[in-house]
A = this chain, B = another copy of it.
Amino acid sequence: MSNYYGNNIHLNIFGQSHSQAIGVTIEGLPAGIKIDLDRLDAFMARRAPGQNALTTARKEKDAYEIICGLAEGRTCGAPLTALIYNKDQHSKDYSNIKDMPRPGHADYTAAVKYRGFNDIAGGGKFSGRLTAPMCIAGGIFIQLLEERGINIFSHIYSIKDVKDKPYELTGPFEDVSQKELPVIDNNVMEAMKETVAKAKSELDSVGGVIECAVTGLEAGLGEPMYDGIENLIARTVFAVPAVKGIEFGRGFEASLLYGSENNDEFRIKDGRIYTETNNAGGILGGISSGMPIVFRAAFKPTPSIARAQKSVSLSKKEEGILEIKGRHDPCIVLRALPCIESAAAIALFDLTI
């Protein structure tokens, strides 16, 4: 079922882009916890649009309200529900894309699945806006994971063909979240900005890759076969719109290596077993090895573009041209980092609680 995740927790995301509110219910948080709301705000701000000139111009703060689940400021064992009210769902006309689905979007597949009753306004339940409640959950879990020494990092691995320096798979991992662009190598910022700006000026969009690392996860977590760490993180990461690929450790590149190159040899130091390299991305047989979990998620370019595109009128059953004027976010990757971190946090918090 779609908007629901969890084995040990229950995470339930609801709302459409233009419904009265969107939100999330989280069940399974330990009782007695104080959520640092300032930190959660800061985390959410990394996802919000309008942060810089590169992203969409619309300035929007995702002001959430926790409507239950707390007592005297602490979690109380009851499910926690947080809402974000949609203030400006004005009467913009969406009838054009209701009839003529946007290429690359879920307009068509949703129309088929829900027999035309899907909410098209703003993308409905398929809107990237739904990553806001995902980040509320993720932001809370990240705080709780950190208390147990588990930290999640991410950086822009690439925007189109502009690549940042990749992570050393064994770590350490620099926190670049507060940089103007969250990259390791400051020298690539300019080229990335130009790439996005060019796409924007051409009414087009670009994609990219986000690399994410998790440190501090003890060895022995995860289950072989269907509930390995790869399986679980893949399931939560593909919930982030526009993700089309995921790889762990050396990932696809591992297919080019010899076994003798790819196998991570075991070492021991001060009684602690580790591996010299971390091509496995911290996962062997689905189970954490104690080394950092490292994965990369590939984003397709934002499907929303302002260029004219061929499409089909669902009512007239004929081909036509769709052109959508107005602001577009030329590169959602720039603000998708907290979504990917949240995806990892959701999978791992559920696994470790």
* Chain A interfacial positions (CB closer than 8 Å to B): 1-7, 9-10, 12-16, 19-23, 25, 27-28, 31-32, 65, 67-71, 74-81, 83, 101, 103-106, 108-110, 112-121, 124-126, 130, 158, 160-161, 199, 202, 204-209, 219-221, 223-228, 230-232, 234-236, 238-239, 241, 243-252, 254-268, 271, 273, 275-276, 279-281, 284-290, 298-305, 307, 309-312, 314, 317-319
Taking a contact as CB atoms under 8 Å apart, the answer to whether A32 and B117 are in contact is yes
Taking a contact as CB atoms under 8 Å apart, the answer to whether B10 and A244 are in contact is no
A249 to B65, CA, bound (A): 39
Taking a contact as CB atoms under 8 Å apart, the answer to whether A268 and B225 are in contact is no
Taking a contact as CB atoms under 8 Å apart, the answer to whether A226 and B246 are in contact is no
Q: Which residues of B contact A206 (CB under 8 A)?
A: 257-259
Taking a contact as CB atoms under 8 Å apart, the answer to whether B67 and A298 are in contact is no
**Pairs across A and B, CB under 8 Å, 15 listed:** A2-B286, A14-B69, A23-B67, A23-B81, A78-B124, A109-B285, A112-B287, A112-B290, A113-B219, A113-B220, A125-B224, A205-B259, A232-B235, A244-B251, A266-B310
Q: How far is the CB of A327 from chain B (nearest CB, A)?
A: 14
Q: Which residues of B contact A67 (CB under 8 A)?
A: 15, 19-21, 23, 83
Taking a contact as CB atoms under 8 Å apart, the answer to whether A257 and B207 are in contact is yes
Q: Which residues of B contact A103 (CB under 8 A)?
A: 263-266, 275
Q: Which residues of B contact A6 (CB under 8 A)?
A: 1
A234 to B28, CA, bound (A): 23
Q: Which residues of B contact A266 (CB under 8 A)?
A: 101, 103, 108, 310-312, 319
Q: Which residues of B contact A110 (CB under 8 A)?
A: 77, 224, 285, 287
Q: How far is the CB of A71 from chain B (nearest CB, A)?
A: 4
Taking a contact as CB atoms under 8 Å apart, the answer to whether A115 and B255 are in contact is no
Q: Tell me whether A79 and B250 are in contact in the complex, defined as CB-CB below 8 angstroms, given that A108-B273, A241-B285, A287-B113 are known contacts.
A: no
Q: Which residues of B contact A80 (CB under 8 A)?
A: 14
Which residue of B5, B21, B68, B299 is within 8 Å of A19 (Cβ)?
Answer: B68
Taking a contact as CB atoms under 8 Å apart, the answer to whether B226 and A105 are in contact is no
Residue of B nearest to A254 (CB): B300
Taking a contact as CB atoms under 8 Å apart, the answer to whether A69 and B19 are in contact is yes
Q: How far is the CB of A169 from chain B (nearest CB, A)?
A: 12
Taking a contact as CB atoms under 8 Å apart, the answer to whether B124 and A260 are in contact is no
Residue of B nearest to A314 (CB): B273
Q: Which residues of B contact A230 (CB under 8 A)?
A: 238, 243-244
A224 to B234, CA, bound (A): 14
Top 6 A-B pairs ranked by shortest CB distance? A106-B285, A245-B247, A205-B259, A19-B68, A71-B119, A2-B223
Residue of B nearest to A242 (CB): B254
Taking a contact as CB atoms under 8 Å apart, the answer to whether B227 and A1 are in contact is yes
Q: Which residues of B contact A16 (CB under 8 A)?
A: 68-69, 71, 76, 78
Taking a contact as CB atoms under 8 Å apart, the answer to whether B126 and A285 are in contact is yes
Which residue of B130, B160, B248, B259 is within 8 Å of A245 (Cβ)?
Answer: B248
